[in-house]
Amino acid sequence: MLFAVPLLLAVGCGAPAATHMATDSQGAPAKAIAARAVHSAGDAASTTGSASDDAPAPTGTIVMVKLYVGTLDAAEQFYGNVFGARFAVAQGDNVHIVVFPSGGPGLVLIKKGPHDKKKYGAFIIQVPDKDVAEARAVANGARIQAEFEAPDGSRSVDVLDPWGNQVEILQRG
């Protein structure tokens, strides 16, 4: 049985390959706003919801991110070469799970079937050196979409892996 939680991060999906910088009404970059939301999510967890009772909202933990890929071996090689991910377990012939050396959610790599052509995943990964990770991603077949800088000095780049999944590579300021 496969235990996975899909992660859909639509911020910046489909952005053109450029150094585009969207801003909010105060001039803050849109990516910085999204990054602040992601990084501060644990600081102010909501206990309200749309339910009619006063019970607190349930909490959860992301344990896996699903990505649709062309071949499992090539995907393991890409994520291993770029981010140090390593094979953990096979879940049948079409699903492999890889994990990162620093922990966090693993990746569920799913070999695309004939009905999966339009399925893609997305995630944000924090690295110590964005430029090194970006160069490794491009050298392993990724395509750059857009780069962003936040007022706090954080920098990120959105890349598409060889199968069209969006990976935001983030270096905190």
Residue-level pLDDT at 44: 40
Tokens representing 94 are 């079409």
CA distance 146 to 23: 14
β-bridge partners, 99? 86
Burial class (CB in 10 A: 0-12, 13-18, 19+), 25: exposed
CATH of 30-37+62-171, one of 3.10.180.10, 3.40.30.10, 3.20.20.70, 3.90.1170.30: 3.10.180.10
Supply the pTM of this predicted model: 0.69
So where are the chain's domains? 30-37+62-171
CA distance 87 to 106: 10
Residue-level pLDDT at 62: 87
- In the chain (173 residues long), the average pLDDT of successive 10-residue segments reads 32 33 40 40 43 75 94 98 97 97 95 95 96 97 97 96 97 94
